[in-house]
Amino acid sequence: MPMKLKIGLRHPDPVVETSSLSSVSPPEVWYRLSIPEEVIDRGCLSALQLEAITYAAQQHETFLPNGDRAAYLIGDGAGVGKGRTIAGIIYENYLLGRKRSLWFSVSNDLKYDAERDLRDIGAKNIQVHSLNKKGVIFATYSSLIGESQSGGKYKTRFEQLLHWCGEDFDGVIVYDECHKAKNVCPIGSSKPTKTGLAVLELQNKLPKARVVYASATGASEPRNMAYMNRLGIWGHKTPFREFSNFIQAVERRGVGAMEIVAMDMKLRGMYIARQLSFTGVTFKIDEVPLTQQYINMYNKSVRLWVSARERFQQAANLMDAEQRMKKSMWGQFWSAHQRFFKYLCIASKVRRVVQLAREEVQNGKCVVIGLQSTGEARTLEALEEGGGELNDFVSTAKGVLQSLIEKHFPAPDRQKLYSLLGIDLPAKKTPSPSDTTAKPEQKGKKRKGSESHYPDSCLTSQDAVEHAQKMKKELLEKLEELAEDLPPNTLDELIDELGGPENVAEMTGRKGRVVSNDDGSITYESRSELDVPVEILNLTEKQRFMDGQKNIAIISEAASSGISLQADRRVKNQRRRVHMTLELPWSADRAIQQFGRTHRSNQVTAPEYVFLISELAGEQRFASIVAKRLESLGALTHGDRRATETRDLSRFNFDNKVRPSTVCLTGFVFWLPLFSRDFFKEIQSGLIGVGLINVEDRSGALSLDKDYNNIGKFLNRILGMEVQQQNALFQYFSDTLAAVIQEAKKNGRYDMGILGCGWITVTLPGSVSQVGVERGMSWEEATHDGRSGAYSELVCCSANRRGNCKKASMGLQCEIGLRCRTYYVLCGSVLSVWNELEEVLTPVSGTNVKVQIVRLRTEDGQRIVGKMKDCSFKASAPHSAPSRPPLSLRARDVTPRCEDSPT
């Protein structure tokens, strides 16, 4: 229940807040709602939804130093009821005379949900329409950047909306599913997206508008918050003058800093984030074994890609291609390489998914299968090549490599090239000595003004062009041989194996599908039905699933925002949902959106989550991406990196600030002959095949790729190694990572986010490994050396061999070694004084030591979160000792002290 608001009925489902956020109290409530008491008393809006509406309205009454009206961020998890909360904010402003509101979301389908939410809270008189009337304009982000093709008064939808709002607009602008505007601050050389810039520009044009950001995944990474310029965290008269300053401050300090940002926003009344309780939800990772047939097919594919890489390199050299063309070619090559092997990873799990789905349906449950890609583009290409006919299911993996070879292999079509350059192509003949020596100055002459990626010298080298064309043809022939073993399109195969379209509800963005007929033939058919157009087909399929007509649903990214598939009390199909993730999304945003489809309010039973990950080591890469983003997401959107749905995936987070891949690759190339020599050569050969080790053309010397210490690239590339090689290499990599992280923790250089106060570091003498001491652990458990039966006693680590303490000799207090220590924790709105704080603490802690963020509870029950210098202890020599009392940490004083600091 709300801490400060005392109106409204309890939410229909158990909702929780993370321990970090719950340790921060929101501001006092002084705003009085205008929403009728009847709506509140009937429970149309729960107490939690009324809390968000109240704080949003309260925040909208304040202005930032630059004159803009402050905005509010709703970070509630999927299923808490953001739709009704948004409808309540619009209703509140409507009752106060602000009749016009803008509601942006990701899909036109969600307009029906918006109308339902307004209707459910008693705001039937507020109409949802397109334009030119009072009420709510519901629009998609894509329409915001749309341009008129027919002329007219306004060239763009943006201008039209600005005119509709009018000058001094002070109504509501809702950015629902606002993560769609995240790429305002791009990474590297990429450009900001039009959507992100339009969202930012609309806020700048309407400074008095009451802006609401709403998304469970609005801040999966700090740099994705660039469009949230109305929060007042950065800008004029704030701790961070520019957004870039904020990014540098937070990203440098890791997930602990993100958690502090979330708590600071709640403390200042600009943010709220709750999520459904996960009571009853089960999580399981199903590691799928690989068959020998699959391993053979995978290894064949690896050898073909190694051959393709060599041919691409040779052809580029033959053509003497310029650097710009080579860069583009290799970019396309490695992108296709990654997609190809990802499709193979997914294919390895299809049989297991089909088996599990059949079992669950027989057990009285229903199944939701999550995919990201449909492979429709490859299917349409194959259909075009076959003249509208297909002999078999299309292989998406084959299509990826075929498209790469046909479009990007550096072998120009001689006829087209010479025609373009205005050169007559002579009949092929064997050149005579006089032909090769005469008129050398005319070699490579071309018409003025023509353009080509190839230098002049290659244009008359017919042999080079023909040789490159021959290599291209050979590659396509090898691909055709391999195609017999390559798996078919995953989505089509799944639907076929699970009983066809009549048994499976497909909610994707594709317009057609490949099906097998009763006579064994294969045909391509449109997904549209006689009485159901494609535009509302996903909604129709959803209704069939919820009515129990179909017990299996497959959803792609296109259906992963806003759609509800939970075991709702109001629908006929109340079977327990088993949500299987066959293809992990590329980002945490998409992962959270997909997982939130089956765990929502008003459900009879909580879902079961099953994450299928093959035994192929390279597939850990995709789990790694999501695990890394989910930790950041939990930190920023819930104030706790452990708050997200996929807690079991945390062990796959290999892509962190520790960089063991440097050790990994350097070791295998130069100084790690720990395995048999044959094995060492195999790994080295595999790394050469995927471009992580380069071989000099003339000397044959080995050198590391320039990005050898990029973990993401390393994990992507090892997919292209044979199964045994990549599994062995990955095992070495993960073991190295564990050792490096352990060492970083020991030296105080590892960011562990917010820690509970019952955790300290104990370093035992000799070769005894470091252990963590948890609250409640007995003295014997903490200090017992199992090999010698001895105990260790904690002593002052600043003491020298003679037992003299430097601090004590100087008259200073020393508590190191005592079982009860005094800690000073700086808490409150730390974000506003962040830079000054680190200037003070760095000389004390050292530049390489993380200032630890801790969570603790005082003896009187007060919960504190703040910054504390990390401490470590050393132990004396082991000796026999009687039983000791339990080790504990007690916060005697949580008041910030500054007597010993420069400030």
Between 382 and 653, where is the model more confident?
Answer: 382
Two tokens at 411? 């072998």
pLDDT tens column, 828-876: 777 777 777 777 766 655 555 556 677 776 677 666 766 665 433 332 3
Neighbours of 535 (CB within 10 A): 10
Instruction: Tell me the C-alpha distance between 687 and 714, whole Å.
Output: 10
pLDDT band at 707 (very low <50, low <70, confident <90, very high): confident
Q: Considering the entire predicted model, what is its pTM?
A: 0.71
The alpha-helical segments, DSSP class H, found in 580-676 are: 588-595, 620-638, 661-666
Parallel, antiparallel or unpaired: strands 608-614 and 577-581: parallel
**DSSP 3-state percent helix, strand, coil across the chain (nearest 5):** 40, 15, 45
Task: Please check the confidence at residue 708 and state whether its pLDDT lies above 80.
Answer: no
> Which residues, 6+ apart, have CB-to-CB distance to 304 below 8 Å?
401, 478, 479, 482
pLDDT tens column, 372-389: 878 777 777 777 776 777
Instruction: Tell me the C-alpha distance between 314 and 308, whole Å.
Output: 10
Task: Give strand ranges (E) for 21-152.
Answer: 72-74, 100-105, 128-129, 135-140
Domain 15-276 in CATH 3.30.70.930? The answer is no
pLDDT tens column, 217-260: 665 567 778 889 999 989 888 888 888 888 887 877 766 777 78
Two tokens at 408? 């990007």
| Highest mean pLDDT of the ranges 152-156, 435-439, 641-645 | 152-156
- In the chain, residues under CATH classification 3.40.50.10810 are 15-276
Task: Please check the confidence at residue 171 and state whether its pLDDT lies above 90.
Answer: yes
Positive/negative CA dihedral, 483, 485, 486, 491: positive
Instruction: Tell me the C-alpha distance between 630 and 607, whole Å.
Output: 19
Nearest to 289 by CA among 621, 619, 615, 722: 615
- In the chain, residues under CATH classification 3.40.50.300 are 282-406+485-643
Q: In this predicted structure, which of 76-90, 431-445, 494-508, 678-692 has the lowest mean pLDDT?
A: 431-445
Task: Give strand ranges (E) for 444-588.
Answer: 504-507, 512-516, 522-526, 552-555, 577-581
The alpha-helical segments, DSSP class H, found in 363-395 are: 376-385
Report the first-to-last Cα separation within the chain, whole angstroms.
Answer: 41
State how far the alpha carbon of 648 is from the alpha carbons of 222, 292, 607, 624, 631, in Å: 23, 28, 15, 12, 11
> Which residues, 6+ apart, have CB-to-CB distance to 519 below 8 Å?
none
- The CATH superfamily of 282-406+485-643 is P-loop containing nucleotide triphosphate hydrolases (3.40.50.300)
Q: What's the mean pLDDT when you consider all of the chain?
A: 75
User: Do 120 and 88 touch, CB atoms closer than 8 A?
Assistant: no
Between 778 and 866, where is the model more confident?
Answer: 866
DSSP three-state, residue 504: strand
What's at 765, amino acid-wise? P
Residue 204 is predicted with a pLDDT of 93
Neighbours of 777 (CB within 10 A): 16
pLDDT band at 625 (very low <50, low <70, confident <90, very high): low
User: Do 564 and 368 touch, CB atoms closer than 8 A?
Assistant: no
What's at 156, amino acid-wise? T
State how far the alpha carbon of 338 is from the alpha carbons of 335, 343, 707, 721, in Å: 5, 9, 17, 12
